[in-house]
């Protein structure tokens, strides 16, 4: 079974802090994705990566950056957290190619105060 893990289930940070969210997958998937999910807005893609050291902007990249130094690990960075970044953050991975399903981690609920 595909396993996608995220570093924290719940996280509380203060405005202006730098925040790191880590995601690890164990199935040698090429693609990894970061989404945020908010009530009424659904899942929105922040960044994704096709390969190590490659990244592509999604629909809402502002205020975020990512890092993929190893194939199995994809990190989301909030350079200076703001209250409007309070959300559920979901990491997903998939094999390369658009016919392949995405598998999600358990999510990190981030609260910025």
User: Would you tell me which residues interact with another protein (CB under 8 A)?
Assistant: 31, 33, 40-43, 45, 48, 50, 58, 90, 94, 96-107
Residue closer to another protein (CB basis): 16 or 106: 106
What is the closest distance, in whole angstroms, from the C-beta atom of residue 106 to another protein in the complex?
A: 5
Between 84 and 98, name the residue whose CB sits nearer to another protein.
98
Closest distance to another protein from the beta carbon of 38 (Å): 10
* Closer Cβ to another protein, 43 or 60, answer by number: 43
Q: How far is the CB of 90 from another protein (least distance, A)?
A: 6
Of 16 and 99, CB closest to another protein:
99
Structure tokens at 49: 């990566």
**65, two tokens:** 């950056």
Residues 18, 87, 11, 6, Cα dihedral to 10°: -90
Rounded CA gap, 48 and 68, in Å? 10
Quote the strand ranges of the chain, DSSP E.
Answer: 4-6, 10-13, 19-25, 31-38, 42-49, 56-57, 64-70, 73-78, 87-94, 103-104, 108-112
> In angstroms, what is the minimal distance from the CB of 108 to another protein?
10
């Amino acid at each position: 079974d595909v396993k996608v893990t995220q570093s924290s289930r719940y996280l509380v940070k203060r405005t202006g802090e730098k925040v790191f969210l880590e995601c690890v997958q164990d199935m040698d998937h090429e693609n990894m994705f970061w989404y945020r999910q908010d009530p009424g807005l659904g899942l929105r893609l922040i960044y994704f990566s096709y390969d190590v050291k490659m990244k592509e902007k999604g629909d809402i990249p502002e205020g975020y950056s990512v890092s993929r130094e190893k194939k199995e690990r994809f990190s989301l960075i909030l350079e200076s957290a703001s209250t409007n970044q309070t959300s559920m953050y979901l990491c997903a991975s998939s094999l390369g190619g658009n016919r392949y399903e995405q598998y999600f981690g358990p999510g990190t609920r981030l609260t910025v105060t």
